[in-house]
Structure 1
Amino acid sequence: MHYITKWKTAATITTDDEALLEELYQLAKRLDERMDTVERLVASDNPDFQPPRLQHDRSIDNVPLRELEEMLAEKKGERA
């Protein structure tokens, strides 16, 4: 509850918050790559396997990711 109150009173996120978000984003990307590997391995053993999640190679599934990467690049450009 304390952190929710702190979050609501802050006008913007702190530098530490940005660093944590960046770290979480990188972790999510690594986990997604691992899931892709597992799905490829399962698909190689079972040709009928159809992964029920978003696909890394489908353009429509990557739109939000591209938007986030663009925002991160712009933010890094502001600091440089």
Structure 2
Amino acid sequence: MNCGDQRLTYAQLDAWANQLARRLLEPGVTAPILGPRTAEQLENGLAALRVSSDGDRLKELDALFPGPRGPPRRRTPGEAG
């Protein structure tokens, strides 16, 4: 995965995604909808990939406009944003 000057191999991507999953499960995150929010474009994409790879619903958030959003939508792995 490439994003600007940041690059990750598939193994690095998989390790990061698994670490994120563990960090979410530790405090008992059980919400059916997860909205990752980060200023880092690469990290936001990785969070979206992790959530959608498990078939969970992703709620997109905009840090510059944190108001109400439309309904969440289910993404399939590999689907473009």
TM-score calculated relative to the size of structure 2: 0.35
More helix by share: 1
Larger Rg: 1
Which has the higher relative contact order, 1 or 2, with Cα contacts under 8 A spaced 6 or more apart?
2
More strand by share: 2
